[in-house]
């Protein structure tokens, strides 16, 4: 099993104002209601220091790198391409390949250009006005065009393709729980948006015929309700993919009605202990490596190559992360499932959406200083 890292454009790259997330994070209603903390990714530096970051990753024995290219940075408007952005991304990807990395290129990791989605107008009009993002079928065609452009211009640097990162979370949070843009809480809107995303996946999968195209889902280990557990896999049964990415962070314990139970998984208090006496992260997520073993055994049923594309912990003191790394790699071994690579989230502290820079996932700090867990990660090759 190889090692690597995952990143996303909005969370790692310099600030891009042509993003629905920029509009979301600067909206006064969101700030005053404390849905967001009012912080922007102004500390990011990946595009200007990618060579230095890739060098650090190489020295940590990483050989896989998963990223996405910013749609809004490349296409300022629907028919206006930034030559500067295309040139910059080609240099960045070439640097990865020159260092021997296996590159996984994701076509979408949550954010959309403003001309595709204005979440504030969409929210305030109750999805009746403005560019409507994944609620609109127009976005399917926009995404197909963008994907075609990326394939035509960057495929020489790509080993594996991914259509979407965590579409199950993106649409759930955006249209049902309302914590991501556009902040809607509607079952009907959720179902329509999810249908559009899955249609976009199918279209791009067919467009990329002959390439290795996968999809990445967030897979918490669900306990307490078999129906809720099966619902997680149902969506994947209706689409085609050549490989599958598993993002795993913790479990969810649910009651007989399928409702999450407080005190377990991601429903714990920060820096506390779960009701099972397991430590919890700065985010309030229970450390539960055993869940990864069970998730992988469930995903194995799809009979497709598997990559753990995200696994990480918000731990500013780096107290839990060393054992977190070792225990999750051990869980992969205990699963007896063939996993091609383990990608940690993330190499350096990243911008964590609504929470800004509060959550520290990196084994390196933003000033590129190694935390002790970086040395553990480097030695994981002796465990795999």
The catalytic residue positions are: 310
Residue 45 is given by DSSP the state -
The gap between the terminal CA atoms of the chain, to the nearest Å, is: 6
What is the CB-side half-sphere exposure of residue 73 using CA atoms within 13 A? 19
Question: Residue 52, Cβ neighbours under 10 Å: how many?
Answer: 12
Q: Is 223 left (phi over 0), alpha (psi -120 to 50) or beta?
A: beta
Contact 53, 46 (CB under 8 A): yes
From CA 312, how far away is CA 248, in angstroms rounded? 8
Of 133, 127, 141, nearest to 21 by C-alpha is 133
How far, in Å, are 269, 315, 348 from residue 362 at the CA level?
21, 8, 4
Q: What is the CA radius of gyration of the chain?
A: 20
With a CB cutoff of 8 Å and minimum separation 6, the contacts of 209 are none
Contact 182, 174 (CB under 8 A): yes
Contact 92, 47 (CB under 8 A): yes
């Amino acid at each position: 099993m190889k090692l690597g890292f995952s990143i996303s454009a909005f969370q790692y790259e310099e600030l891009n104002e042509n993003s629905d997330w920029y509009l979301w994070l600067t909206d006064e209603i969101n700030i005053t209601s404390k849905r967001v903390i009012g912080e922007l990714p102004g500390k990011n530096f990946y595009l200007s220091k990618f060579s230095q970051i890739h060098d650090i990753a190489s020295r940590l024995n990483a050989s896989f790198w998963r990223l996405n290219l910013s749609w809004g940075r490349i296409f300022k408007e629907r028919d206006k391409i930034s030559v500067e952005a295309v040139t910059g991304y080609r240099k960045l990807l070439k640097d990865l390949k020159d260092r021997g990395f296996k590159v996984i290129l994701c076509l979408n990791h949550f954010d959309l250009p403003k001309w595709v989605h204005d979440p504030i107008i969409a929210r305030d009009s109750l999805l009746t006005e403005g560019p409507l993002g994944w609620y609109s079928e127009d976005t399917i065609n926009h995404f197909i065009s963008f994907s075609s452009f990326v394939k035509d211009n960057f495929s020489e640097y790509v080993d594996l393709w991914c259509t979407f990162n965590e579409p199950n979370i993106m649409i759930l949070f955006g249209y049902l729980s309302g914590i991501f843009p556009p902040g809607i809480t509607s079952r009907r809107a959720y179902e329509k948006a999810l249908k559009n995303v899955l249609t976009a996946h199918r279209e791009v999968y067919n467009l990329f015929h002959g390439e290795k195209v996968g999809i990445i889902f967030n897979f918490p280990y669900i306990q307490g309700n078999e129906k809720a557990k099966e619902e997680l896999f149902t969506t994947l049964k209706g689409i085609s993919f050549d490989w599958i990415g598993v993002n795993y962070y913790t479990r969810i314990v649910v009651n007989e009605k399928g409702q999450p139970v407080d005190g377990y998984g991601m429903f714990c208090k920060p820096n506390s202990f779960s009701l099972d006496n397991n430590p919890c992260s700065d985010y309030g997520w229970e450390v539960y490596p055993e869940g990864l073993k069970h998730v992988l055994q469930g995903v194995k049923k799809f009979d497709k190559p598997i990559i753990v594309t995200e696994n990480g912990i918000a731990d500013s003191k780096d107290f839990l992360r060393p054992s977190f790394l070792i225990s999750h790699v051990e869980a992969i071994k205990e699963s007896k499932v063939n996993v091609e690579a383990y990608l940690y989230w993330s190499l350096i502290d990243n911008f964590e959406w609504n929470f800004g820079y509060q959550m520290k996932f990196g084994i390196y700090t933003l000033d590129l200083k190694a935390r002790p867990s970086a040395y553990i990660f480097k030695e994981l090759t002796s465990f795999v």
